[in-house]
Structure 1
Amino acid sequence: MGSFSIWHWLIVLVIVLLVFGTKKLKNIGSDLGGAVKGFKDGMKDGSAGGDAASAAQQVTANKATDANTVDVEAKTKS
């Protein structure tokens, strides 16, 4: 009662194939694979673009126009 045998899984596989069809399952698999690949590429791009120079340029490009905002520059210790 605890685990299923190979015959149970084969019956489930046959029912899934009959309900969805092989073409639809192939499309679902390729869509899922593309989504995983896109996620991995996004994570790779996010970690590569995290250097300080690009972050400083992004902050400089997005300066606030509010009159109450104080604009300062951070300097590195030497």
Structure 2
Amino acid sequence: MGIGIWELVLLFLIVLLVFGTKRLRNIGGDLGSAIKSFRNAMNEGEEDRSGRAVEGDAVAEKKKDTTA
């Protein structure tokens, strides 16, 4: 037995009564901007890793050329 639609509606109404619409709007905006920042940071991390891997390969190839 999972949570049904009516239980979710009741839970949403209770949260709405406790926090109010203005505070829920602020919480939603803050949560959205936090998720956006997290995604941007993850994308920057992937770009850094791929750039470093390419630089590492180029350095390894230079070492092979100088030792040969």
Unpaired stretches in structure 1, ≥5 consecutive residues? 56-73
Number of aligned positions between the proteins: 58
Aligned to 1:19: 18
- Looking at structure 2, the residues matched to 27 and 12 of structure 1 have their Cα atoms a distance apart, in angstroms, of 19
With normalisation by structure 1, the TM-score equals 0.59
Unpaired stretches in structure 2, ≥5 consecutive residues? none
Superposition RMSD in Å: 2.2
Higher relative contact order (CA 8 A, sep 6+): 2
Q: Of Structure 1 and Structure 2, which has the larger fraction of its residues in helix?
A: 2
Aligned to 1:33: 32
With normalisation by structure 2, the TM-score equals 0.65
Rg comparison, structure with higher value: 1
Residue by residue over 1:14-46, the C-alpha shift from the partner in whole angstroms, topping out at 9 and shown as x without a partner, is 111110001111111111111111011011111
The AA in structure 1 aligned to 2:14 is I
